[in-house]
Amino acid sequence: MLAMAMAQIPPQTDQLVTGWVADDDATHAVLQRWVRGEGGWAAVGGSVEARLGSRGVAWGRGLHGEPLGPPKIEGDGRAPLGVFRLGPAFADPPAPIPTQGWPVLEVSPRDLWVEDPTSEHYNTHVRVPDGRPLTDWERSQRMHLGDDAHRLKVVVHHNTDSPVPGQGSAIFLHRWRRDGEAATAGCTAVAPEALDTFVDWLSPGAHPVFVLLTDEAWSRYGVAWGLPSWVAGGTTAIPPEAP
């Protein structure tokens, strides 16, 4: 019961992006946007297909607390399950920068996202001060530049609050590769136009949250966590798995 209580969607959250995945080994997901009104959660637009880690999913660390099953670990090729705050977007020029209010930071060669579990800056964004040459280690931790899949991406706050070394880093919503034919290293990837729509829609004042759960986890936690009925309880409202 403690785990269920901890994962209640925050009362100030009025936007959700939910993801449904068939089981722990599936590499496809279906995402849906929601807004909260007087009558509860209402779907926004249609559902979109997404690609996940090449080895499926595992439990992450987020608003639901500690992992509720086999945990994600660094380099395991699995996307994190759970309930997560969404952070700023990063844009790698010449990606268009949305103008609807969601914070978007332009990436330069001096922007790092630290994936080294031995570093005190593990799983954080660091910007090397201008004018100082980058060390070899800093170059190894640089955010992707010139990679179309990372032209625009949104931070998923998995393992970012008091990060536990080795439990996974650098998790984003980003553009997919090869028109969705390729899985990811652990992120959630969607078509470029879908990601643009998401970032244009996100509002800081709505405190948006991202939820990714398997069919079994939706059935177990969906109602208790205050999630939309579209995915709660394993009913026919759950969409079929993407091909």
User: Does residue 243 sit within a domain?
Assistant: no
User: Does residue 241 sit within a domain?
Assistant: no
Q: What is the pLDDT of residue 38?
A: 86
User: Does residue 239 sit within a domain?
Assistant: no
* Bond from prior residue into 133 cis (ω within 30 degrees of 0): no
Q: What is the pLDDT of residue 242?
A: 38
User: Does residue 117 sit within a domain?
Assistant: yes
User: Does residue 13 sit within a domain?
Assistant: yes
Q: What is the pLDDT of residue 24?
A: 96
Q: What is the pLDDT of residue 136?
A: 93
Q: What is the pLDDT of residue 147?
A: 86
User: Does residue 170 sit within a domain?
Assistant: yes
User: Does residue 211 sit within a domain?
Assistant: yes
**CATH code, domain with 153:** 2.40.440.10
CB atoms near residue 153 (< 10 Å): 27
Q: List pLDDT tens digits, range 39-62.
A: 889 999 999 999 999 999 999 999
Q: What is the pLDDT of residue 230?
A: 60
Range of the domain at 95: 2-234
DSSP, residue by residue, the chain: -HHHHHTSPPTT--EEEEEEESSTT--EEEEEEEEEETTEEEEEEEEEEEE-BTTBEEE--BTTBS-SSSBP-TTS--EEEEEEEEEEEEE-TTSPPP-SSS-EEE--TTEEE---TTSTTTTSEEEPPTTSPPPHHHHHTBPP-S-GGGSEEEEE-SS-SSPPTTS----EEEEPSGGGTS-BSSSEEE-HHHHHHHHHH--GGG--EEEEEEHHHHHHHTTTTT--TTTGGG-TTSPPPP-
Place of tokens 């997901």: 29
Number of compact structural domains in the chain:
1
Q: What is the pLDDT of residue 79?
A: 98
d(Cα 197, Cα 98) in Å, to the nearest integer?
9
Q: What is the pLDDT of residue 144?
A: 76
Q: List pLDDT tens digits, range 3-41.
A: 444 457 899 999 999 999 999 999 999 999 999 988 889
Q: Which residues of the chain have pLDDT under 50?
A: 1-6, 232-243
User: Does residue 174 sit within a domain?
Assistant: yes
